[in-house]
Amino acid sequence: MRPTLQTVADAVGVSRSTVSNAYGRPDQLSPELREKILEAARRIGYAGPNPTARSLRRGRAGAIGVLFTPTLSYAFTDPYAVEFLRGLAETAETHRTGLLLVPLGADDEGALSAVREASVDGFCVYCVPGWYRAMSAALARGLPMVNSEYQGELYVGIDEAAATRAVGDHLTGLGHRRFAVIGTYLGTDPATGPTTVHAPEDLPSFVSRERLRGYRDAFAAAGVPWSDVVTVNAAANTREDGAAAAAYALDRDPRPTAILAITDVLALGALDALGERGLRAGADVSVTGFDDVPAAADAGLTTVRQPAYERGRIAGELLLSPPDDPAERRVTLDTELMVRPSTGPAPD
Amino acid sequence: MRPTLQTVADAVGVSRSTVSNAYGRPDQLSPELREKILEAARRIGYAGPNPTARSLRRGRAGAIGVLFTPTLSYAFTDPYAVEFLRGLAETAETHRTGLLLVPLGADDEGALSAVREASVDGFCVYCVPGWYRAMSAALARGLPMVNSEYQGELYVGIDEAAATRAVGDHLTGLGHRRFAVIGTYLGTDPATGPTTVHAPEDLPSFVSRERLRGYRDAFAAAGVPWSDVVTVNAAANTREDGAAAAAYALDRDPRPTAILAITDVLALGALDALGERGLRAGADVSVTGFDDVPAAADAGLTTVRQPAYERGRIAGELLLSPPDDPAERRVTLDTELMVRPSTGPAPD
DNA sequence: CTCCTTCTCTTAATCGATACAGTAGCTCAG
DNA sequence: CTGAGCTACTGTATCGATTAAGAGAAGGAG
C-alpha cells in the first residue's frame, strides 16, 4: 500500500490539505510545520503528490502527445524525423512540458485506443497519413493539434509543391525530358514497384500529392506530359526500398535520365541502385531527393533543404504558447534548392 | 465545458456506470443500448473516457518515463542515444505503452519537479549522471527503474571496464606508450581542458569511471603508470569539444602517440584536430572511440561496438515484462573491438 | 474592551472515471 | 408456487489529489 497525502497527514496529525499545501503552496503554512511534514513524508517514504491525481484535479496533463509515423520505432531511423523531434523537444523543455510518444503500433485498433488513452494537452502529428483512423480519433479528442500535413487551426509546414517545382525546373533546365518519380503512398498496393498515378491530385497522402504536383507542373512547363513520367512506389521510406524502386526505373528502356525521389532516404537508395549498375550520378542519370538530411551532403545529392529542427520547434511553440493573432498560427517556412553533383546536364 | 460520462448518461437516461461499461466492458450491456450510447456520445462530442481519470482509477499510467541525458534536445543529436531510444520504442510499442520524455531541462529544480510530475509506471534512465538530484527523485518515486549506469534491481548494460581494457591492450600491443584520454565528467570544472584524475575509481560518473579503469589496467599491464597518462576533460559530448580536448593533448611535448576518447563523438572531434595539424590518424597518432556509431565506420575509427538498439529493447523488456528469475533481471551485453585504420603501430 | 486583521490550518466539494455489490425483472426446474 | 440463476442495469465508494471557503486564535488599532 503506497502512502498518500492522507497517510502523511495522519502521521503528522494535520489535515490532508495542509500536507498538500506543504508541497504546492509553501506560503500557506508555517515553515516549521512544513518542515515537519516533509520530514514525516521522507520517513514514511512518500515521494510527493501523485502526478495522475494532480493532473486530473488540475485539468492539465503537462505533456503533449506525439503521433510519430505509423511505427514509432521507425521514426528513429529517419534522420529528418529525429531533427524534427529535437526541435519539438527543445520547445517542450523550455515550457517544462513532457513529450508522450504514443504507441500507434501496427494495428488499427491498437492505434485508436492508444490515441484515446493518451494523457496529454495537445497533439503534434508527424508523418501520419490523414486517412488513418487514429488521426480522426486524435481530432475527436478536441485538443490543440499541430499537423504539418493537414491545414488545421495550427499549422507549420512548407510549400511542398513550390519546392518540388524548383527541383523539376532545375532538371528541365539541364535538358532532362525522361523522368522517373519514386515515392511512398503512390499506389493502392503498398509494395515496391511501378504504379500509375493518373493525377497527383488524387493521391491520398498530402505530402506525396503536393510534391508530385510540383514535379508535374515543372514537367508541363517544359512540355513533358505527366503520362510520360514513370512513377514507382516504395513500400516504405527506407534506403533499400528506394534502391528497389529506382531499379525498376533504371531497367526500363528507354532509361529515364533523371530520378526524382520524394525523400532523401529514397534518393540515397537510388544512388545505390545506380552504383550497382555502374552508372554515374549526375552524368548518366541525375538524382534528386528532398529534406537535406546530413548524409545527403556527403553523398553530393541535389535536394531541397527544409528546416526540420525549426519545424519541430515551431510546432511546439504553436501548441504551448499559441500566438493571439490567428494569422500567425499558420506558419510556412522557406525551403532551399541545394544543387550538388548528383544532377547534371542530360546525357546525349 | 467538456462533456463527461455523466453528460452522456443524462442524455441517454442511463447511469454513469452503464456509459462507462459501454466503452470498457461491452459484454455488460445489451448491444442495442451500447449502440445508442455511443451514438449519443458522438452527437454530443464526447471523445471517450478521460485518460487521466481512467489512469487514476485503474492505478496505471500506461507510459514509462524516459530520463534522457541532462538536456532532452541534446539526446537527439547523439546517434547512439537515438538507437537506444529506437530499441526502447520498439518494446514499448509491442506492449502498447507510451514513452514519456521527461523534460529535465537546464536547472536542477525544474528537473526535480519534472520527475515528480511524470505520470508513469516506471523509469528508463539513459546517460543521466547518478549524482543529479533528479535521479534521487526518480528513485524515490519507488517505481521500477532501469538505469544502465547504476546497478539496480533491473539492469542492462555492458562490461565497460573490460571493453576499454581491450582498447588499451590493442594500443599497447601496437607499441604505444604515451597516451592521452579524453572524456566528459573527468574534472570538477566542467570546462574543456586538461585535468588530473588521480584515480579513476574516484570519478563520480559511472561510465567515465569504469571506462578509465579499463584503460588504466591495460596501461598498467604494459608498465605505463597512470600518472604518465594525460587526461583532458570535454565540456560536453560533442565533436567540437572533442576536437578542443584533443588539441590540448596534441600540442603537448612530447606528443602522445595515442588518443583514447571515451565516446565516438569525441573521437571524431579528435580526428578533426589531427587533420587541422596535418597529422595522419593511425600513422602519426592513433585514435580510438567508443560506441561504434555509423559515422565511426565511415571515418575508419577503431572503436568498441556496443549494441545500442538491443540495450534499449531489453531495457523496455525489463520494465514491461520483468523475468521471474531475479538473475535474469540483470543483463550484461557483449561488446566487440572494431579495429579500423585510425589505429596503427606507434611511430619511431 | 471590542472590532478588525492576519495567520494558520480545516472542512468539504470537486476533478472524471471504475469496480463491486446490489436489485429488478424474467425464465425455468422441481 | 417457490426459489435458483441469469441478464441488464443502478448506486455508491473510491482512486489521490487541489482549492475555495470557513473557522479559530493571536495581535493591533481605536
Q: Inform me whether the pLDDT recorded for A139 exceeds 80.
A: yes
Q: Which nucleotide is nearest to B18 (CA to C1')?
A: D9
Verify whether the Cβ–Cβ distance B98 to A100 is below 8 Å.
yes
Which of B132, B155, B178 terminates a domain? The answer is B155
- Please check whether residues A25 and A89 belong to one and the same domain: no
> What percent of chain A shows pLDDT beyond 70?
100
Q: What is the pLDDT of residues B30-54, one digit of tens each?
A: 999 999 999 999 999 999 999 999 9
Q: Residue B90 above 70 pLDDT?
A: yes
> Is B47 near strand C, with its CB below 7 A from some atom of it?
no
Local structure of B65: helix, strand or coil:
strand
Whether residue A342 is predicted with pLDDT greater than 90 in this model: the reply is yes
| Residue B141, domain member (yes or no) | yes
- What's at B24, amino acid-wise? G
Domain shared by B221 and B269, yes or no: yes
DSSP code of residue B260? E
**Rounded to a whole number, what is the distance in Å from the CA of A158 to chain B's nearest CA?**
23
**Cβ contact, residue pair B52, A56, below 8 Å:** yes
Question: Is A328 a member of any domain?
Answer: no
Residue nearest to nucleotide C15 (CA to C1'): A57
For B102, the closest of A98, A113, A120 (CB atoms) is A98
Å from B52 (CA) to C10 (C1')? 28
**CB-based contact A242:A180 (threshold 8 Å):** no
CATH of the domain at A84: 3.40.50.2300
Q: Both A235 and A245 in a single domain? A: yes
* CA A308 – CA B315 distance, rounded (Å): 29
Q: Which residues of A touch B41 (CB under 8 A)?
A: none
Distance between CA atoms of B220 and B223, rounded to whole angstroms? 5
Q: Is the CB of B321 under 7 A from strand D?
A: no
> Do the Cβ atoms of A101 and B105 come within 8 Å?
no
Inform me whether the pLDDT recorded for B150 exceeds 80: no
Q: Quick check: B151 pLDDT over 70?
A: no
The pLDDT confidence band at residue A216, using thresholds 50, 70 and 90, is very high
At B10, give phi and psi (nearest 5°): -60, -40
pLDDT at A73: 83
Same domain, A172 and A142: no
Query: Is the CB of residue B146 less than 8 Å from the CB of residue B128?
Result: no
pLDDT at B148 over 90: no
In chain A, which residue ranges form alpha helices assigned H by DSSP? 5-12, 16-24, 31-44, 51-58, 72-75, 79-94, 108-117, 133-140, 160-173, 206-221, 239-250, 264-276, 294-298, 308-320
Domain, as residue range, for B41: 5-49
Domain tally for chain B? 3
Q: What is the mean pLDDT of residues A79-99?
A: 94
**Are residues B82 and B149 located together in one domain of the fold?**
yes
| pLDDT tens-place string over residues B118-131 | 999 999 998 888 88
Residues A132 and A206 in one domain: no
Cβ of B28 near strand C (distance < 7 A)? no
Chain B, nearest residue to A51 by Cα: B117
* Across B240-247, average pLDDT: 97
Res A79 pLDDT > 90: no
Quick one: A109 and A125 in the same domain?
A: yes
CA atom of B57 to C1′ atom of D13, Å: 12
- Report the mean per-residue pLDDT for chain B: 94
Averaged over A78-97, what is the pLDDT?
A: 93
> Residue B110: its chain A contacts at CB < 8 A?
96
Task: Return contacts of B108-116, CB within 8 angstroms, 24+ apart.
Answer: B108/B132, B108/B133, B108/B134, B110/A96, B111/B70, B111/B137, B112/B137, B113/A96, B114/A96, B114/A98, B115/B65, B115/B67, B115/B141, B116/A47, B116/A48, B116/A49, B116/A51, B116/B141
Angle between helices A239-250 and A264-276 (to 10 degrees): 50
Residue A348's beta-bridge partner residues? none
Is 0.75 surpassed by the pTM of this model?
A: yes
Report the gap between the CA of B110 and the closest CA in chain A (Å).
7
DSSP string across B137-204: HHHHTT--EEETTS--SBEEEE-HHHHHHHHHHHHHHTT---EEEEEES-SSS-SSEEE--S-GGG-S
Lowest mean pLDDT among A6-20, A24-38, A42-56, B140-154: B140-154
Helix (H, G, I), strand (E, B) or coil at B286: strand
Q: What is the pLDDT of residues B184-237, one digit of tens each?
A: 999 988 899 999 999 999 998 999 999 999 999 999 999 999 999 999 999 999
Q: A42 to chain B, minimum CA–CA distance in Å?
A: 9
The three grid cell numbers given for residue B46, joined into one nine-digit string: 464526447
Residues A230 and A119 in one domain: no
Kindly indicate the confidence band of residue B105, based on its pLDDT and cuts at 50, 70 and 90.
confident
Cell numbers of A182, please?
519514386
Highest mean pLDDT among A285-289, B72-76, B204-208: A285-289
The answer to whether some atom of strand D lies closer than 7 Å to the beta carbon of A26 is no
The distance of A100 to chain B (nearest Cα, Å) reads: 4
Predicted confidence band of residue A59 (pLDDT cuts 50, 70, 90): very high
Q: Looking at beta carbons, which residues of chain A come within 8 Å of B87? A: 73
Contact A249, A256 (CB under 8 A): yes
Chain-chain contact of B141 with A47 (C-beta, under 8 angstroms): yes
* Percentage of chain B modeled with pLDDT above 70: 100
B44 CB inside 7 Å of strand C: no
What is the CATH classification number for the domain harbouring B26? 1.10.260.40
Contacts B76 to A, Cβ<8 Å: 82-83, 85-86, 89
Please report the pLDDT score of residue A313 as a whole number.
97
Nearest CA in chain B to A53: B56
pLDDT(A163) > 80: yes
Are the CB atoms for A85 and A298 separated by under 8 Å? no
Q: Please check whether residue B156 is in contact with residue B110, taking contact to mean a CB–CB distance below 8 angstroms.
A: no
B279 is a domain residue: yes
Q: Pick from A84-93, A98-107, B69-78 the range whose average pLDDT is largest.
A: A84-93
With a 7 Å cutoff on the CB, does A29 touch strand C?
yes
Tell me the pLDDT of chain A averaged across its residues: 94
The nucleotide minimizing the C1' distance to residue A3's CA is D16
Domain annotation covers residue A335: no
Q: Do B86 and A77 touch (CB under 8 A)?
A: yes
Question: What's residue A1's pLDDT?
Answer: 81
Instruction: Say if residue A269's pLDDT is above 90.
Output: yes
Cβ contact, residue pair B47, A142, below 8 Å: yes
Rounded mean pLDDT of A284-298? 95
Residues A270 and A281 in one domain: yes
In a domain, A298, yes or no: yes
The answer to whether strand C lies under 7 Å from the CB of residue B10 is: no
Which pLDDT band holds residue A189 (cuts at 50, 70, 90)? confident
Q: Is the pLDDT at A185 greater than 90, yes or no?
A: yes
Task: Give how far B231 is from chain A: nearest CA, Å.
Answer: 32
- Per-residue model confidence (pLDDT) at position A148: 76
Tell whether B266 is covered by a domain.
Answer: yes
What pLDDT, on the 0 to 100 scale, is given for residue A151?
A: 67
A72, A95, A119: residue with CB nearest B89:
A72
Contact A194, A241 (CB under 8 A): no
| Whole-number distance in Å between A18 CA and D21 C1' | 15
Q: What is the pLDDT of residue B245?
A: 97
Q: Is the pLDDT of residue B98 over 90?
A: yes
Claim to verify: residue A228 and residue A96 sit in the same structural domain: no
Place of cell 531533427: A83
* Domain assignment present for A327: no
User: What's the pLDDT at A149?
Assistant: 76
- Statement: residue A150 has pLDDT above 90: no
Residue B20 CB lies within 7 Å of the nucleic strand D: no
**Cα torsion B181, B183, B189, B190: sign:** positive
Q: Which residues of A touch B95 (CB under 8 A)?
A: 103
CA neighbours closer than 13 Å in the CB half-sphere of residue A281: 25
**Contact residues for A289 (Cβ-Cβ < 8 A; gap 6+):** A261, A263, A264, A265, A266, A267, A268, A296, A301, A302, A303, A304
Q: Are B83 and B24 in contact (CB under 8 A)?
A: no
Model confidence at B70, pLDDT cuts 50, 70, 90, reads: confident
B120, B155, B190 - which closes a domain: B155
Domain match, B104 and B173 both? no
Same domain, A118 and A17: no
Q: What are phi and psi of A175, to 5 degrees?
A: 95, 0
A253 CA: distance to closest CA in chain B (Å): 35
Average pLDDT over every residue of B84-100: 95
Nucleotides of chain D touched by protein CB (<7 A): 7-12, 14-20
Give the A:B interface size as CB pairs under 8 Å.
149
Q: Which three cell numbers stand for residue A316?
A: 511546439
Based on the number of CB atoms within 10 Å of its own CB, is B150 exposed (0-12), middle (13-18) or buried (19 or more)? middle
Asked if the structure places residue B58 within a domain, the reply is no
Segment holding B137, helix H or strand E: helix B133-140
In sequence order, which residues have a C-beta less than 8 Å from that of residue B106 and are 6 or more positions away?
B70, B71
Confidence of residue A147 (pLDDT cuts 50, 70, 90): confident
Q: Are strands B145-147 and A258-261 parallel, antiparallel or unpaired?
A: unpaired
Query: Which of A79, A85, A83 is CA-nearest to residue A100?
Result: A85
Q: Which residue intervals of B235-291 are DSSP H helices?
A: 239-250, 264-276
The reply to whether residue A52 touches residue B119, judged by beta carbons under 8 angstroms, is: yes
Instruction: Judge: B101–A102 Cβ closer than 8 Å, yes or no.
Output: no
Contact (Cβ atoms closer than 8 angstroms) between residue B269 and residue B240 = yes
